[in-house]
Each structure stands twice: as C-alpha cells, then as structure tokens.
Amino acid sequence: MTPQPSARERLLDAAEDLAALQGMTSTPVDEILGRARVSPATLYAHFGNKEGLVVEALKRRLARWDSTWQECVDEAVAPEEKLLAVFTALARHRTSLTPSRWCVFLGASAETPAPGNDLADTLASDTRLLVDRLEALSAAYLQGAPAKVLADRITLVYTGVLGMILRGSDAEAAIADGRATAALVIRALAGGDHAESASRP
C-alpha cells in the first residue's frame, strides 16, 4: 500500500497548487486547510503562519524547477542548445506540476509589495538561479561582454513568455515562440554559422 502524504506534505501541496491556480495572497488560509484536510493548529505547528507555509512551498517548487532545468541542460549537447534548454525545462516543468497562470514567483512578488525577510530571500533566489545559470551558460558560448548581453536578452525573452501565458496565450505556443526568438538572439550575437543550429527546434 502506498503511504499517504504527511500533514506537512499535504499543506505544502495545497499551498503550491492553490498558489499556481489563483495566487498566494488571494488564497485564504481556510481554503488551504480544507484542501490539505488539516486543522489550523497543524499549520501553525509546522510553519508558524501562512507566510511560513508559503516560503516552504516556494522553496520546494524552486528546487523542483532547478532540478528540471539542470536535467534539460544536461540532456542538451551543443552549447547553444544548453542555452535554449530553459524553454524545454519550462514546458516540462508545467506538465510535471500544477500549471500556473504564469510564474508563481513573479505572482508572489506582485502580490506582496512588502514581504518578510524569509519570503523576500526566497523570491530573490528564483531570480538568482535564472540569472546565474544563464550567465554561466552564455559564458560557455561567448566570451566577454557579449555573454552578459546574451544572458540578459534570453532572460527578457523568457520573462516575456511568462507574460504571454498570463495574457491568455496558449502556453505551448508561447514557449515555442520564445525558444525561436531566443535562437534568433543567439544567432545575432554569435554571428555566422557558429549559431546556425540554435534556430532549430
């Protein structure tokens, strides 16, 4: 018999799923408790308060995103394909978890203008992961200042894809368009035949 998730795991699942569907701050605690089938005392015993639960749910989601993205990078062979792996990872991530309306981290940032220290640090961790990995992958492809420019532009395209999903675009199509746009950016900055393969799906 498959063991049932613990109360702590059910709370994390409920918070993450509801945040993906309707946002962190707009989800009442009672709705999280009802979905997780636990009492308020259980939530407070494990996480202290709602923000503590939100922080842990975001950390867990970030760890899953990190793992999925790294997996896609490792699967890619050419350096340019490793750069484009962020779009492969986004598509895979959305099918492995409750699909969000755009990005749970950007949503939480928009909903929480004055987050506590733990929440602020967790939200910043998502940005650091995105920027640091793209800069590292860009540096393996280009040298010097163009590598930073390339990372910044792919970050812009990636964030634009998330925005298009929020606007109601089909997620699969938006991700494919983002990948194609990023491939054009790579080719433009690298020049010549070196980046030709980056435009291939």
150-190 pLDDT, tens digit each? 999 999 999 999 999 999 999 999 999 999 999 999 999 98
131-152 pLDDT, tens digit each? 999 999 999 999 888 999 999 9
38-61 pLDDT, tens digit each? 999 999 999 999 999 999 999 999
19-41 pLDDT, tens digit each? 888 888 789 999 999 999 999 99
Q: Give the pLDDT of residue 101.
A: 85
Fold classification of 57-199 (topology level): Tetracycline Repressor; domain 2 (1.10.357)
| Token pair of 49 as six digits | 């308060």
Stated pTM of the model: 0.89
Domain ranges of the chain: 57-199
Q: What is the average per-residue pLDDT within 2-22?
A: 91
